[in-house]
Amino acid sequence: MNTAEIRARLAKRTETLVARDAALQKHLRGADGRLEADFSDRVAYTEMDEVLEALDDGARAELEAIRAALLRLDEGSYGTCTRCGEAIPEGRLIALPHTALCTACAAEVNG
């Protein structure tokens, strides 16, 4: 993959995450009409909020990883593991274009 393709994939994923975050924030604020539902529905929505907030945290972490990947692209270090300095396999970069770690380091970090 070339730099333009990588940037395009990261930009598309950023758009997806930003749109998802906007919808989630709207939901959490009750701006989607959920608070107008009957009591039992409001209880169910409120119980789901913890799950949605965890998903939101994950999306924010991914956005941060995308920003870091774009910075590595600008610096010319994209595709190099930030932990061990080895090349990240192309297949891993295709699957996770924002990854900063090679497969071995990711396995060590994530257990």
Could you report the per-residue pLDDT of 53-97, keeping only the tens digit for each?
Answer: 777 888 899 999 999 999 999 999 999 999 999 999 999 999 999
Residue 29 CA: distances (Å) to CA of 43, 53, 61, 67, 108? 15, 12, 21, 27, 38
For residue 48, the model assigns a pLDDT of 73
> Under a CB-based contact definition with an 8 Å cutoff, are residues 69 and 100 in contact?
yes
What pTM, to 2 d.p., does this model score? 0.76
Give buried/exposed letters for 59-86 (b at 16+ CB in 10 A, else e).
beebbebbeebbebbeeeebbbbeeeee
- Calpha distance 89→34 (Å, rounded): 45
- Calpha distance 86→105 (Å, rounded): 10
Residue 33 phi, psi (nearest 5) = 90, 0
How many helices (H) does the chain have, and how many strands (E)? Answer: 4, 0
